[in-house]
Amino acid sequence: MKSLKLVMALAAVLIVAGCDMNTAPSGFVEVTVDQVQAQLESNNIPKLILDVRSEGEYASGHVPTAKNISVDTLASRLNEVPKDVDVYVYCESGKRSTRAAEMLTEAGYDKVHNMRASMRGWRAANYPIEK
Protein backbone atom coordinates (compact mmCIF):
# COMPACT_ATOMS: atom_id res chain seq x y z
CA MET A 1 0.00 0.00 0.00
CA LYS A 2 2.84 2.36 0.87
CA SER A 3 4.54 1.73 -2.48
CA LEU A 4 1.26 2.33 -4.33
CA LYS A 5 0.96 5.75 -2.68
CA LEU A 6 4.57 6.51 -3.59
CA VAL A 7 4.01 5.49 -7.22
CA MET A 8 0.82 7.59 -7.41
CA ALA A 9 2.58 10.62 -5.90
CA LEU A 10 5.47 10.26 -8.33
CA ALA A 11 3.07 9.93 -11.27
CA ALA A 12 1.22 13.08 -10.17
CA VAL A 13 4.49 15.04 -9.96
CA LEU A 14 5.55 13.87 -13.43
CA ILE A 15 2.18 14.78 -14.93
CA VAL A 16 2.21 18.26 -13.40
CA ALA A 17 5.82 18.84 -14.44
CA GLY A 18 4.98 17.91 -18.02
CA CYS A 19 2.02 20.27 -18.27
CA ASP A 20 3.75 23.46 -19.39
CA MET A 21 0.91 24.54 -21.65
CA ASN A 22 2.79 27.39 -23.33
CA THR A 23 5.71 25.47 -24.76
CA ALA A 24 4.96 23.39 -27.80
CA PRO A 25 6.67 20.01 -28.22
CA SER A 26 8.91 21.48 -30.93
CA GLY A 27 10.47 24.12 -28.68
CA PHE A 28 8.58 27.24 -29.69
CA VAL A 29 6.06 29.05 -27.48
CA GLU A 30 2.34 29.19 -28.21
CA VAL A 31 0.92 32.70 -27.65
CA THR A 32 -2.49 34.32 -27.88
CA VAL A 33 -3.55 37.22 -30.09
CA ASP A 34 -3.78 39.33 -26.91
CA GLN A 35 -0.13 38.61 -26.11
CA VAL A 36 0.93 39.60 -29.63
CA GLN A 37 -1.10 42.81 -29.44
CA ALA A 38 0.60 43.61 -26.12
CA GLN A 39 3.99 43.08 -27.79
CA LEU A 40 3.03 45.47 -30.59
CA GLU A 41 2.10 48.09 -28.01
CA SER A 42 5.48 47.78 -26.27
CA ASN A 43 7.65 49.58 -28.81
CA ASN A 44 10.84 49.20 -26.77
CA ILE A 45 11.11 45.44 -27.35
CA PRO A 46 12.70 44.39 -30.67
CA LYS A 47 10.53 41.85 -32.44
CA LEU A 48 9.48 40.52 -35.82
CA ILE A 49 5.86 39.75 -36.63
CA LEU A 50 6.06 37.13 -39.39
CA ASP A 51 3.07 36.46 -41.65
CA VAL A 52 3.64 33.12 -43.41
CA ARG A 53 0.55 33.29 -45.62
CA SER A 54 0.63 33.87 -49.38
CA GLU A 55 1.28 37.33 -50.83
CA GLY A 56 -2.40 37.61 -51.79
CA GLU A 57 -3.58 36.78 -48.28
CA TYR A 58 -1.09 39.26 -46.84
CA ALA A 59 -2.25 42.00 -49.24
CA SER A 60 -5.87 41.47 -48.19
CA GLY A 61 -4.98 42.45 -44.62
CA HIS A 62 -2.31 41.66 -42.04
CA VAL A 63 -1.18 42.36 -38.49
CA PRO A 64 0.43 45.84 -38.34
CA THR A 65 4.20 45.85 -39.03
CA ALA A 66 4.14 42.19 -40.15
CA LYS A 67 6.71 40.98 -42.67
CA ASN A 68 5.43 38.51 -45.26
CA ILE A 69 7.45 35.40 -46.05
CA SER A 70 5.23 32.52 -47.15
CA VAL A 71 5.85 29.22 -45.41
CA ASP A 72 6.71 27.72 -48.82
CA THR A 73 9.67 30.11 -49.27
CA LEU A 74 10.74 30.43 -45.64
CA ALA A 75 13.56 27.87 -45.80
CA SER A 76 15.28 29.79 -48.60
CA ARG A 77 14.70 33.18 -46.95
CA LEU A 78 15.86 32.49 -43.39
CA ASN A 79 18.52 35.19 -43.82
CA GLU A 80 15.65 37.73 -43.69
CA VAL A 81 14.62 36.56 -40.22
CA PRO A 82 16.92 37.87 -37.46
CA LYS A 83 17.89 35.39 -34.76
CA ASP A 84 18.40 38.00 -32.05
CA VAL A 85 14.76 39.14 -31.72
CA ASP A 86 11.51 37.50 -30.70
CA VAL A 87 9.72 36.19 -33.80
CA TYR A 88 5.90 36.00 -33.66
CA VAL A 89 4.58 33.75 -36.44
CA TYR A 90 1.02 33.57 -37.75
CA CYS A 91 -0.98 32.43 -40.76
CA GLU A 92 -4.74 32.20 -41.35
CA SER A 93 -5.69 29.34 -39.03
CA GLY A 94 -2.53 28.10 -37.31
CA LYS A 95 -1.43 25.16 -39.45
CA ARG A 96 1.17 26.95 -41.60
CA SER A 97 2.42 29.04 -38.69
CA THR A 98 3.02 25.88 -36.66
CA ARG A 99 5.00 24.44 -39.57
CA ALA A 100 6.97 27.70 -39.89
CA ALA A 101 7.64 27.83 -36.14
CA GLU A 102 8.97 24.27 -36.30
CA MET A 103 11.21 25.21 -39.26
CA LEU A 104 12.60 28.22 -37.41
CA THR A 105 13.24 26.21 -34.26
CA GLU A 106 14.99 23.48 -36.25
CA ALA A 107 17.14 26.18 -37.90
CA GLY A 108 18.40 27.30 -34.49
CA TYR A 109 16.00 30.14 -33.64
CA ASP A 110 15.26 30.15 -29.92
CA LYS A 111 12.84 33.09 -29.62
CA VAL A 112 9.96 31.73 -31.71
CA HIS A 113 6.33 32.33 -30.75
CA ASN A 114 3.37 30.83 -32.64
CA MET A 115 0.17 32.89 -32.53
CA ARG A 116 -2.32 30.08 -31.88
CA ALA A 117 -5.50 31.62 -33.25
CA SER A 118 -3.60 33.27 -36.11
CA MET A 119 -5.34 35.80 -38.39
CA ARG A 120 -8.82 34.41 -37.70
CA GLY A 121 -8.35 35.09 -34.00
CA TRP A 122 -6.83 38.51 -34.71
CA ARG A 123 -9.90 39.52 -36.73
CA ALA A 124 -12.27 38.07 -34.12
CA ALA A 125 -10.57 40.20 -31.44
CA ASN A 126 -11.09 43.29 -33.64
CA TYR A 127 -7.41 44.22 -33.51
CA PRO A 128 -6.06 46.63 -36.16
CA ILE A 129 -5.38 45.32 -39.64
CA GLU A 130 -3.08 46.93 -42.22
CA LYS A 131 -3.58 46.63 -45.97
Euclidean distance between CA atoms 116 and 131, whole angstroms = 22
Has 91 been annotated as catalytic? Answer: yes
Q: What residues are paired with 50 via a beta bridge?
A: 67, 89
DSSP state of 27: S
Map 47-98 to HEC letters: EEEEECCCHHHHHCCECCCCEECCCCCHHHHHHHCCCCCEEEEECCCCHHHH
Instruction: Choose, from 33, 63, 69, 91, the residue flagged as catalytic.
Output: 91
3-class secondary-structure state, position 31: strand
- Annotated catalytic residues are 91
